[in-house]
A and B are shown apart, each in its own frame.
Chain A
């Protein structure tokens, strides 16, 4: 991946939330997400039946298992659309959602956990439980399809499919959002 492409992708994930801001939308909440594959924080623009998320995540591949020393880092912009909605007791609402996104980062995808640049299309689906007390809990699965650049050294780099994004789809993820 050329420096130009990296810059373009980085700008894209930063620019997409900037477009939301320019359109007059402001974050309606913030939250934290956790799973065996990534953890981090995000800002959310929640429109009820759809929501946009901008996340900064630590990629934990190999780290929690003790095989890699340092986590990778990635940014993610994604949109979720509500397809089904159920009203629950105490004013709580459950929603089934799914949606696409774009992620880029500096993460590992090799057996020796060497880091390299990654860019991928992202998709997720799951259930979001919104409570009357300004908290929402989200349980979901996510996957990424894209490319990873394995950088052995500055002269020896290779690009391949980002395998972890597909292999780790079945890792359950949970996030907590606090609405302003």
Chain B
């Protein structure tokens, strides 16, 4: 169902791009993110069948990557886009996000220069599970490569709320069985560096 919806959105956007809709912007972006902090809360049954709860802030980083395609409308200094792709978040969450993005450019024609980029949306976990949330805030610089092609260099912060299904029991050091997890939430902060090609 989720995949069908994602495919339907991409086909619709692809059709619009192919039809050459005025003001239409589209492209691909990729990059890396390094999570620098997470607030993890979980409750689960231990191997001894005791209910245990954890609530801790971790600063252990994790290196991740992401790739997505976007499409939207550009008018004046603003660009409104829908982004969809694949994101890694933290140590175990791998998501298919669908995000709504808004970029605001310093230059009125959006062809070059500095811009502020924001995006927020939902992420569908790769292995099923609960819906996650993602949000981005950052700065970008756009450089024109040719009449039809430009490149954006971006840096920013990413926050995601995920539901990890791989927990370690801090008392025994064992991995908790998935069926013994009662609740699990992790709020992650990450530094995100991206490159985007705009067609």
A contact set with B: CB distance below 8 Å: 32, 34, 36, 39, 58, 60, 63-66, 69-71, 89-92, 131-133, 135, 137, 174, 176
Contacts and interface: CB of A to CB of B under 8 A. Distances in A.
A176 B150 CA distance: 12
A140 to B, nearest CB: 15
Contacts of A91: 146
Contacts of B116: none
Contacts of A36: 65
A133 B31 contact: no
18 contacts: A34-B65, A58-B63, A60-B63, A60-B65, A63-B62, A64-B88, A66-B93, A66-B94, A69-B60, A70-B63, A71-B63, A89-B147, A91-B146, A131-B149, A135-B143, A137-B145, A137-B151, A137-B197
Given A32-B195, A90-B146, A176-B195, 20 more contacts: A34-B30, A39-B65, A60-B63, A63-B63, A64-B64, A64-B65, A65-B94, A66-B93, A69-B62, A69-B91, A70-B63, A91-B146, A132-B146, A133-B143, A133-B145, A135-B143, A135-B151, A137-B145, A174-B30, A176-B151
Nearest to A64: B65
B144 interface: yes
Main secondary structure of the interface of A (DSSP, over half): loop
Contacts of B78: none
B75 interface: no
Interface in B53-69: 60, 62-65
B145 A34 contact: no
B43 interface: no
Contacts of B32: 34, 39
Contacts of A39: 32, 65
B92 interface: yes
B167 to A, nearest CB: 14
A117 B155 CA distance: 32
Given A34-B65, A39-B65, A176-B195, A131 B145 contact: yes
A92 B146 contact: yes
Contacts of B143: 133, 135
3 residue pairs, one from A and one from B, having the closest CB atoms: A90-B146, A131-B145, A64-B65
Interface string B80-98: 0000000010111110000
Nearest to A131: B145
A123 to B, nearest CB: 24
Interface in B8-24: none
Nearest to A136: B145
Contacts of B65: 34, 36, 39, 60, 64
A92 B64 CA distance: 33
A132 B151 CA distance: 13
Contacts of A34: 30-32, 65, 195
B30 to A, nearest CB: 6
A160 B91 CA distance: 29
A107 B58 CA distance: 25
Contacts of A65: 88, 94
B161 to A, nearest CB: 17
